Amino acid sequence: VDYTEGQGWHDARIIPYQPLTLDPSAMVFHYGQTVFEGMKAYKTAAGDITLFRPERNFARLNASNARLCIPAMDEALALQALKELVKLDESWIPTAENTSLYIRPFIIATEPYLGVSPSKNYQFIIIMSPVGSYYAEGINPVKILVEKQYVRAVAGGTGEAKTGGNYASSLKAQELASQQGYAQTLWLDGRENEYIEEVGSMNIFFKINGTVITPALNGSILPGITRDSMIQVLQHKGIPVEERRISITEIIEAHQNGTLEESFGTGTAAVISPIGELKFGDHQYVINNGQIGEVSQLLYDTLTGIQYGKIDDPFGWRVIV
Ligand code: PMP
């Protein structure tokens, strides 16, 4: 779909996957004016194609648009377009266990202009690709490095938007983490380097003394759709859950006094990823003996059960295409 100043969004079309032709001065190349989403389509045993809360992705896309000065999309039209695209060829959606069709909607600023201002023209594109497990470890616990030097996002920045710049700023720390054998980076706040934000591509949860805690949304954390869903599942199951500020000191103290029971990340690609070890400075903190915790397993089973149509969906999250 194209956007032209004065004309709005127009010319929705489905075309074969192919390279784009863009002017070398297209503003996206120079000023990073771009937003994206990540979602999945699943195939159920009954042969249905499902999406998981897709309206939330398009609402978040528009929230990101607002932050990046990109004109809003018609969310209903975007969802309709996505459904048609997914239905085009069912063979794109793999059926093996835990596989899905990853969907990447994105918007780029295409106006050829050198100068920092919002572009007058954009393209909205959806690409898709079959995927399996996100981590080589599968649903086995991953090791995460707490980042002390670099910062992903700060209050007032673009951390809450799903925009390329946030990921560009995280590359260096991610590279250093993987060189040390860690799957991802755990980001702290940019001001005091003390409060927990999120992981490279997941929101994070801790279970301390029976209560599940996740950092409250503060403007610099991505409002994950899986995060929101898992908070609702925990409430539904009667497991105490809190959204609040939580410091790395509190985590280390809980580890030391034996009350840090579990940790896991949540995300569309990562699903529920148990965290088996946190490294902070020179110390390695092993969580739950490096095993999958009960709550992580429960949430994994509930989330994938709803997505793959294996269990009831009391929340109305499963959308059949
Ligand atoms: N945080 C970041 C930085 C992410 O890239 C993602 C993946 N979109 C998430 C959290 C999880 O968000 P969601 O559950 O909507 O996939």
**141 pLDDT more than 70:** yes
3-state secondary structure of 153: coil
CB atoms within 10 A of CB 311: 14
Q: Judge if the beta carbon of residue 266 lies within 6 A of ligand 1.
A: yes
Residue-level pLDDT at 138: 67
Residue 46 structure tokens? 């009954």
Q: What is the DSSP letter of 138?
A: T
C-alpha to C-alpha distances, 166 to 21, 131, 222, nearest whole angstrom = 25, 23, 10
Task: Report pLDDT for 299.
Answer: 98
pLDDT tens per residue, range 173-222 = 999 999 999 999 999 998 899 999 999 999 999 999 999 999 999 999 99
DSSP state of 71: P
Ligand 1, atom 11: closest residue by C-alpha: 267
What's the confidence (pLDDT) of residue 312?
96
What integer is the mean pLDDT of 6-17?
A: 95
Q: Is the pLDDT of residue 140 over 90?
A: no
What is the distance between the alpha carbons of residues 122 and 158, in angstroms, rounded to a whole number?
A: 19
For range 264-280, the mean pLDDT: 96
Q: Mean pLDDT over all residues of the chain?
A: 96
Question: In the chain, what are the domains?
Answer: 2-131 (3.30.470.10), 142-309 (3.20.10.10)
Mutation test of ligand 1: which of 184, 203, 205, 273 has the most ligand atoms closer than 8 Å to its C-beta?
203
Contact call for residues 142 and 275 (beta carbons, < 8 A): yes
Residue 137 has pLDDT above 90, yes or no: no
Selection from 213, 30, 207, 172 nearest residue 109 by Cα: 30
Provide the whole-model pTM: 0.97
Residue 64 has pLDDT above 70, yes or no: yes
Token couple for 185: 């980076």
pLDDT tens digits along 21-59: 999 999 999 999 999 999 999 999 999 999 999 999 999
| Å from CA of 321 to ligand 1 middle | 23
71 pLDDT more than 70: yes
Q: What is the ipTM of this complex?
A: 0.99
pLDDT at 308: 95
